[in-house]
């Protein structure tokens, strides 16, 4: 590695003098997206996509934030940096670095399906590609989102008929917005946990168009609702807050729901295989499209995906990072 080196704070661009998604406070941090395992507090200066800015302000209390648009190159100490859409969540970006004829791309987290919110993923050619591998096993093949949301609507309808509320667990930043967009107000107002409601307020204030959600305060008596849709982050799963909505059925939205055992372990009534990450085919297609001569595989099934790429004639190695700890709020 020359242009980018691994340090104890994370990925570091040597000539540029900045880190990308560092896990320790640094002088200058370029942030791919606002999930907590990639965007950490304490750095002096931040640089990110313009859509990520309000999120960093709210989540990290960051003040010194420089923002960029996609496809808008900037030069930092002679290194040309350009952000490209990663399709993962709002503002998520791939970071392309060019210096002395060397091109690197740090994918951050990405998905290849256009969710209509996060921007459509754009493959970027480079010589060195640092990719995630969260779902880097061939058992992970996603169905089209429309199919999943159709199942979700069917499930909600069924619960309504049987007098159950439908509690849907989804990350407050990312999947919650997708669910809110897809379900809309088809089943009346969507009720939300504080984490989801706050995120919606934040995004709406930042100019995004979303149907409003109804915040349910944990300290107030339970609302008398029946057959409603309630959106909460995964951390609410075993909370007292959920008990307000009895009788309810619980669904989890996650790529891990692909395997039946995981679904049963979560004790969910239903698992929707809805992910903000690329599936196996997505990872392969993107990696091939970069035409990179060197691929560095991070968080997920690193060893599997790296080995498979090597067998396919793409030089790849594992790269240990601190990414991939599940976003909890």
Partner 1 sequence: MMRLFANLFVDLGNVTRTSEKTALLANYFQQAPPEDAIWVIALFSGRRPKRIVNSTLLGEWCRELTTLPLWLFEESYHTVGDLAETIALLLPDSGESHSSLPLHQYIDALRQLESSTPEEKKHYIQSAWSELNRTEKLVFNKLITGGFRIGVSQQLMVQALAEIIPLEPSQVAHQISGKWDPATTTFQQLFDPGAIKTDVSKPYPFFLAYAVEDDPSGLGEPDEWQAEWKWDGIRGQLVKREGKAFVWSRGEELMTEKFPEYSLMLEKLPDGTVLDGEILPAKDGRPLPFALLQTRIGRKNVTRKQLEAVPVAFFAYDLLEWQGRDIRELQLEERRALLEQVVTAVSSPQLLLSPVVSFDNWEALAGLRGQSREAFAEGFMIKRKRSSYQSGRRRGDWWKWKIDPLHIDAVMIYAQKGHGRRSNLYTDYTFAVRDGDKLVAFAKAYSGLTDREIAQVDAFVKQNALEKFGPVRTVKPELVFEIAFEGIAASGRHKSGVALRFPRISRWRQDKKPDEINTLEDLHELLQRYGKT
**Segments of the chain assigned E as strands:** 4-7, 10-13, 18-20, 28-30, 45-49, 65-68, 74-76, 79-85, 93-99, 102-106, 128-133, 165-169, 190-192, 213-215, 229-232, 248-253, 270-272, 294-300, 316-318
Indicate whether 265 belongs to the interface with partner 1 (CB under 8 A): yes
Scanning 182-190, 195-203, 210-218, 256-264 for contacts with partner 1 by CB under 8 A, the matching segment is 256-264
Q: Select from 211, 269, 288, 294 the one that contacts partner 1 (CB under 8 A).
A: 269
63 binds partner 1 (CB under 8 A): no
Per-residue interface string for the shown chain with partner 1, residues 78-117, x marking contact by CB under 8 A: ----------------------------------------
Residues from 125 through 184 that contact partner 1 (CB under 8 A): 137-141, 143-144, 147
Least Å from the CB of residue 147 to partner 1: 6
Segment interacting with partner 1 (CB under 8 A) among 28-36, 67-75, 120-128, 259-267: 259-267
Binding partner 1 (rule: CB under 8 A), the pick from 267, 291, 310, 315 is: 267
At residue 2, the 3 state secondary structure works out as: coil
Query: Contact with partner 1 (CB under 8 A): which of 35, 270, 277, 299?
Result: 270
CA atoms 49, 52, 53, 59: torsion sign: negative
- Give dist(CA 162, CA 198) in Å, integer: 30
Task: Give the helix ranges, DSSP H, for 138-216.
Answer: 145-161, 175-183, 194-205
Residues 299-318 that bind partner 1 (CB under 8 A): 304, 307-308, 311
Q: How many residues bind partner 1 (CB under 8 A)?
A: 24
| φ, ψ (nearest 5 deg) of residue 303 | -65, -40
259 forms part of the interface with partner 1 (CB under 8 A): yes
Pick from 4, 1, 33, 8: nearest CA to 17: 4
Residue with Cβ nearer partner 1 (117 or 143) = 143
Lookup result for tokens 């159709």? 150
| Strands laid side by side in the 165-169 sheet | 213-215, 190-192, 229-232, 165-169, 248-253, 270-272
Choice between 72 and 162, CB closer to partner 1:
162
Residues that bind partner 1 (CB under 8 A): 137-141, 143-144, 147, 256, 258-265, 267, 269-270, 304, 307-308, 311
């Amino acid at each position: 590695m020359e242009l980018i080196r691994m340090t104890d704070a994370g990925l570091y661009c040597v000539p540029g003098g900045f880190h990308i998604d560092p896990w320790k406070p640094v002088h200058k941090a370029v942030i791919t997206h606002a999930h907590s395992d990639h965007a950490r507090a304490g750095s002096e200066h931040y640089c990110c996509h313009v859509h990520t800015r309000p999120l960093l302000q709210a989540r990290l209390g960051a003040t010194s934030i420089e923002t960029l648009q996609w496809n808008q190159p900037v030069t930092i100490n002679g290194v040309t940096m350009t952000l490209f859409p990663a399709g993962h969540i709002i503002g998520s970006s791939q970071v392309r670095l060019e210096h002395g004829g060397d091109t690197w791309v740090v994918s951050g987290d990405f998905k290849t399906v256009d969710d209509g919110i996060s921007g459509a993923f754009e493959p970027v050619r480079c010589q060195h590609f640092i990719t995630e591998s969260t779902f880097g096993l061939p058992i992970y093949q996603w169905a089209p989102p429309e199919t999943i949301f159709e199942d979700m609507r069917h499930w909600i309808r069924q619960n309504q008929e049987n007098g159950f509320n439908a509690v849907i667990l989804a990350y407050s930043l990312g999947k919650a917005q997708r669910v809110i967009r897809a379900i809309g107000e088809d089943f009346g107002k969507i009720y939300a946990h504080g984490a989801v409601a706050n995120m919606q307020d934040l995004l709406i204030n930042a100019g995004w168009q979303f149907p409003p959600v109804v915040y349910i305060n944990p300290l107030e008596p339970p609302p008398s609702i029946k057959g409603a849709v309630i959106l909460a982050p995964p951390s609410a799963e075993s909370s007292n807050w959920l008990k307000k909505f009895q009788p309810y059925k619980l669904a989890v939205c996650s790529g891990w729901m692909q395997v039946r055992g995981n679904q049963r372990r979560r004790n969910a009534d239903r698992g929707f295989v809805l992910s903000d990450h690329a599936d196996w085919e997505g990872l392969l297609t993107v990696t091939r499209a970069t035409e990179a001569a060197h691929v560095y595989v991070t968080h997920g099934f690193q060893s599997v995906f790296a080995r498979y790429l090597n067998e396919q004639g793409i030089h790849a190695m594992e790269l240990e990072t601190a990414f991939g700890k599940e976003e909890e709020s």
